[in-house]
């Protein structure tokens, strides 16, 4: 379903012009996986509620240990509308506070990419 695979990994035959926004993060050392996955699922549910196609990736080469939360959109207009809706959602604001207080991961980078059909 995802037309853009993050970290320069693309699946042949899936390219048809789309936007992708992603956040790359690293887990905090210690036994954080289960509670972190719970927070990731909560965030994914909120993004999906507003129209994003969400996937989560575990980096296998290069920056091993990082994870990527990716949102795919069929157009730049859908990306913009979803960003507006997510940022206006009080549940997402509450999730942000909860996520920061949990301290289970640290931000590495964010990317936004537009797929170029070839």
> Does residue 89 register a pLDDT over 60?
yes
What's the rounded Cα separation, in Å, for the pair 46 and 117?
Answer: 29
In what side-by-side order are the strands of the sheet with 53-58?
53-58, 66-73, 19-27, 105-114
58-70 pLDDT, tens digit each: 888 888 888 999 9
Q: Within 13 Å and on the Cβ side, how many CA atoms surround 98?
A: 13
For residue 42, what is the DSSP state? Answer: H
What's the pTM? 0.78
Q: What is the mean pLDDT of residues 79-104?
A: 95
Q: Distance between CA atoms of 107 and 117, rounded to whole angstroms?
A: 30
Note the pLDDT of residue 20: 85
Task: State the average pLDDT over residues 38-67.
Answer: 92
* 10 confidence band (pLDDT: 50, 70, 90): very low
pLDDT of residue 15: 37
The 10 Å CB-count burial string (b at 16+, else e) for 60-82 is: eeeeeebbbbbbbbeeeebbeeb
pLDDT at 8 over 80: no
**pLDDT at position 118:** 83
């Amino acid at each position: 379903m995802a037309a853009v695979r993050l970290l320069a990994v693309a699946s042949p035959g899936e390219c048809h012009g789309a936007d992708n926004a992603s956040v790359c993060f690293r887990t905090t050392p210690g036994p954080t996986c289960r509670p972190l996955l719970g927070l990731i699922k909560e965030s994914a549910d909120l993004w999906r509620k507003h129209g994003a196609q969400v996937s989560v990736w575990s980096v296998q080469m290069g920056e091993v240990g990082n994870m990527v939360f990716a949102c795919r959109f069929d157009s730049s207009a859908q990306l913009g509308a979803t960003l507006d809706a997510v940022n206006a959602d009080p549940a997402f604001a509450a999730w942000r506070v909860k996520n920061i207080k949990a301290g289970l991961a640290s931000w590495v980078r964010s990317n936004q990419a537009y797929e170029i059909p070839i």
